[in-house]
């Protein structure tokens, strides 16, 4: 078993091992000993795969002495709403959950964001455990303490910083993912490689567990230095300003990782053309996109993307913070006037086409 310890406002472990799902109760009991109530939050697809009462996770939790409740929702970003969080909190209240009880976020990024947000607001905060079942959640969203729900204004516009008490990663469950879903998660691992650790690329395709560990290590170092995203943590948003805009403009039909990959490429194209970068990186990103056959969303237009991106959380007054690659394995940030954002995106779109 591999263990990574996060030292933030809450210290917690990230455990990584094949088969860990079946022994989850044993690991949880070490920090949140029974008897306690817990609420398993997952979408209906994940419930059928891993959350049912006859499956190892539920059996191990009840066998350890936990009173297990279940909240399910429809798969997809469309379920990540204030209403859904309110419904989870309603279940917790009806079942008499106190601050000694906890939530388990089982699934991908939607489950983690939604369950973590509900945990952060019920009784002003109860513990929660992340058990990610997608590559994207394992390598990125389950770690770092960001929670949130979507609004008409954009993705994750309402949220909190609320660190989990434990993260349990079982790479064996990746066998159930489609190729498209693996690509979706691989984008965040690739992002970590361009931000800080080029050796990640040596692991992709050969040892996915090692690639996950390396991506988490990149995020760990950045988050520990800047938990609340006032400085260096912004580097983790490489590709996300335009990526989130692509998601919003598509009505959230474009998967997050694929949108971020397109966002990284468009950003790098524009930054290289403006000579911001010490060493051009856009060609390397294009090689990755071509090698893995990532879908391209060239039909989306710069004015619409700029309008969506202008409301991004990384906006500060009349400027927006752009994360761009300065050279392979290193990103930097630059404040761009919002009035120039459309031109920046248009430059990337033009060079792509």
CATH number of 2-177: 3.40.50.1970
Catalytic residues, which ones? 124, 146, 188, 219, 229, 233, 237, 240, 244, 256
Q: Using DSSP, state whether 79 is helix, strand or coil.
A: helix
Give the β-pairing of 11-16 and 128-132.
Answer: unpaired
**What is residue 308's predicted lDDT score, i.e. its pLDDT?**
92
**What is residue 39's predicted lDDT score, i.e. its pLDDT?**
98
List the domain boundaries for the chain: 2-177, 189-352
**What is residue 64's predicted lDDT score, i.e. its pLDDT?**
97
**What is residue 127's predicted lDDT score, i.e. its pLDDT?**
98
Phi and psi angles of residue 19, each rounded to the nearest 5 degrees, phi first: 85, 5
Buried b (16+ CB within 10 A) or exposed e, 83-111: ebbeebbebbeeeebeeebbbbbbbbbbb
Whole-model pTM?
0.94
Residue 112 in contact with residue 142, Cβ under 8 Å? yes
Cα separation, 352 vs 209, whole angstroms: 33
User: Which tens digits make up the pLDDT trace of 195-241?
Assistant: 999 899 888 878 899 999 999 999 999 999 999 998 999 999 999 99
Phi and psi angles of residue 45, each rounded to the nearest 5 degrees, phi first: -70, -45
Residue 64 in contact with residue 132, Cβ under 8 Å? no
**What is residue 314's predicted lDDT score, i.e. its pLDDT?**
72
**What is residue 154's predicted lDDT score, i.e. its pLDDT?**
87
Using alpha carbons only, how large is the chain's radius of gyration in Å?
Answer: 20
**What is residue 224's predicted lDDT score, i.e. its pLDDT?**
98
Q: What is the DSSP letter of 33?
A: P
Q: With a cut of 70, which residues of the chain have pLDDT below it?
A: none
Question: Which residue has 């893995």 as its token pair?
Answer: 292
Q: Alpha carbon of 291 to those of 145, 195, 327: distances in Å?
A: 32, 20, 20
Q: Which two tokens stand for residue 272?
A: 């290289």
CATH number of 189-352: 1.20.1090.10
Q: Which two tokens stand for residue 338?
A: 């919002």
């Amino acid at each position: 078993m591999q263990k990574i310890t996060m030292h933030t406002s809450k210290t917690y472990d990230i455990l990584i091992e094949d088969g860990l799902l079946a022994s989850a109760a044993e690991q949880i009991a070490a920090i949140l000993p029974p008897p306690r109530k817990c609420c398993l939050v997952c979408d209906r697809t994940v419930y059928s795969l891993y959350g049912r009462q006859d499956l190892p996770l539920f059996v191990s939790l009840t066998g350890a002495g936990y009173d297990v409740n279940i909240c399910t929702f429809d798969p997809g970003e469309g379920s990540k709403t204030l209403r859904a969080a309110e419904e989870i909190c309603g279940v917790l209240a009806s079942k008499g959950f106190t601050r000694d009880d906890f939530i388990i976020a089982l699934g991908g990024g939607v489950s983690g964001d939604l369950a973590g947000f509900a945990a952060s607001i019920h009784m002003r905060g109860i513990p929660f455990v992340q058990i990610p079942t997608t590559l994207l959640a394992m390598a990125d969203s389950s770690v770092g303490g960001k929670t949130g729900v979507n609004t008409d204004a954009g993705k994750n516009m309402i949220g909190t910083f609320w660190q989990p008490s434990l993260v349990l990663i079982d790479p064996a469950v990746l066998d159930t993912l489609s190729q498209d879903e693996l690509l979706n998660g691989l984008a965040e691992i690739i992002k970590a490689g361009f931000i800080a650790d080029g050796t990640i690329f040596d692991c992709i395709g050969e040892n996915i567990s090692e690639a996950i560990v390396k991506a988490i290590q990149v995020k760990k170092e950045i988050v520990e230095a800047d938990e609340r995203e006032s400085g260096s943590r912004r580097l983790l948003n490489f590709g996300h300003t335009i990526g989130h805009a692509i998601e919003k403009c598509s009505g959230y039909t474009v998967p997050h990782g694929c949108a971020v990959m397109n966002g990284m490429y468009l950003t790098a194209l524009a930054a290289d053309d403006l000579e911001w970068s010490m060493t051009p990186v856009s060609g390397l990103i294009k090689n990755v996109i071509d090698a893995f056959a990532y879908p391209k969303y060239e039909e989306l237009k710069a004015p619409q993307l700029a309008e969506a991106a202008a409301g991004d959380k990384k906006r500060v007054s009349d400027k927006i913070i752009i994360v761009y690659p300065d050279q392979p394995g290193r990103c930097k940030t630059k404040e761009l006037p919002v009035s120039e954002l459309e031109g920046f995106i248009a430059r990337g779109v033009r060079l792509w086409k």
